[in-house]
């Protein structure tokens, strides 16, 4: 779907998809609409920051209200939250394919609320000042990297396989370190994690722009914006967590 090759006939201005001309009634779906692409990008970042704000509010409330005791003292509830998060990510593709804006909204903010419940532990483990400082550092790094991804003329698609392998690598290393409990390995994983999610931020930003260009008008801007927000949200949250592990001061 995303790899359709499009071109115009030099003399009759017809639009071709996979070598076949589309009729005039369909052409508006295949003409590049810069306004549509820009709107999708704006919505992606707007919804992403709204989701981050929801996560922060839920996490702070959960920590201060004592609700975290219920969550972390019950293995069943903790597992249920993690499974629900995986379900949100898995169903994201199906929701986008169905072009369902309300379902996309529910999915994104359900995921952000679930993360807020889990991330309440951050406010218990780290000094509030260091959390705020790292948040602003993360925002600056994320903003600069996303701008590079959106504006660069270099095609970052070739990064995909390397970034995916890096992601698998740090997940496996983190699992191993759960048993080794090596502070040196933990620090190395955190450094690699920061570099990895800086790269993923640029990669995903360009991917969102490319897909919005490819689907130009055939999908709801809100659906694509919610999907883009989920991609960027995961990049932002992981970048924040790895930076916090490096620079955060524990209480």
- Per the CB < 8 A criterion, the answer to whether 156 and 206 are in contact is yes
Region 36-47: mean pLDDT is 95
**CA 243 to CA 216: how far, in whole Å?**
36
Who's near 209: CB < 8 A, 6+ residues apart? 37, 40, 41, 149, 150
Question: Please, what sign has the CA dihedral across residues 39, 41, 42, 47?
Answer: positive
pLDDT at 118: 95
Confidence of residue 32 (pLDDT cuts 50, 70, 90): low
pLDDT at 172: 95
Confidence of residue 25 (pLDDT cuts 50, 70, 90): very low
3-state secondary structure 130-196: HHHHHHHHHHHHHHHHHHHHHHCCCCCCCHHHHHHHHHHHHHHHHHHHHHHCCHHHHHHHHHHHHHH
Evaluate if residue 12 carries a pLDDT over 50.
no
Query: For 179-216, how does the pLDDT look when each residue is reduced to its tens digit (9 = 90+)?
Result: 998 999 999 999 999 999 999 999 999 999 999 998 88
Query: For 48-68, how does the pLDDT look when each residue is reduced to its tens digit (9 = 90+)?
Result: 999 999 999 999 999 999 999
Evaluate if residue 16 carries a pLDDT over 90.
no
Q: Which residues of 31-52 are buried (b: 16+ CB within 10 A; e: fewer)?
A: eeeeebbebbbebbbebbbebb
pLDDT at 26: 42
Half-sphere exposure of 241 (CA within 13 A, CB side): 20
- Per the CB < 8 A criterion, the answer to whether 221 and 44 are in contact is no
Evaluate if residue 45 carries a pLDDT over 90.
yes
Region 104-112: mean pLDDT is 96
15-29, 37-51, 205-219: the lowest-pLDDT one: 15-29
Query: For 141-163, how does the pLDDT look when each residue is reduced to its tens digit (9 = 90+)?
Result: 999 999 999 999 999 999 999 99
**CA 81 to CA 52: how far, in whole Å?**
18
pLDDT at 6: 37
Evaluate if residue 37 carries a pLDDT over 80.
yes
Evaluate if residue 13 carries a pLDDT over 80.
no
What token pair was written down for 26? Answer: 């369909």
Share of the chain above pLDDT 70, in %: 86
> Which pTM was predicted?
0.85
């Amino acid at each position: 779907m995303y790899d359709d090759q499009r071109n115009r006939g030099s003399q009759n201005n017809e639009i071709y998809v996979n070598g076949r001309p589309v009729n005039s009634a369909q052409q508006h779906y295949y003409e590049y609409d810069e306004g549509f692409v820009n709107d999708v990008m704006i919505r992606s970042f707007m919804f992403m920051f709204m989701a981050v704000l929801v996560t922060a509010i839920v996490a702070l409330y959960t920590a201060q209200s004592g609700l975290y005791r219920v969550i972390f003292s019950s293995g069943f509830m903790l597992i249920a939250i993690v499974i629900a998060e995986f379900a949100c990510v898995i169903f994201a593709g199906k929701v986008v394919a169905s072009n369902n804006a309300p379902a996309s909204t529910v999915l994104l903010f359900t995921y952000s609320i679930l993360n807020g419940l889990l991330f309440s532990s951050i406010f218990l483990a780290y000094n509030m000042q260091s959390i705020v400082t790292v948040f602003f550092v993360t925002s600056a790094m994320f903003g600069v990297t996303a701008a590079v991804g959106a504006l660069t003329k270099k095609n970052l698609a070739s990064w995909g396989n390397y970034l995916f392998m890096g992601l698998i690598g740090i997940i496996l290393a983190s699992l191993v370190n759960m048993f080794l409990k090596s502070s040196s390995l933990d620090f190395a994983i955190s450094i690699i994690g920061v570099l990895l999610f800086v790269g993923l931020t640029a990669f995903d930003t360009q991917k969102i722009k490319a897909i919005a260009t490819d689907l130009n008008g055939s999908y709801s801007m809100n659906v694509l914006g919610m999907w883009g927000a989920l991609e960027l949200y995961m990049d932002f949250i992981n970048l924040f967590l790895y930076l916090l592990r490096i620079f955060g001061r524990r209480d």
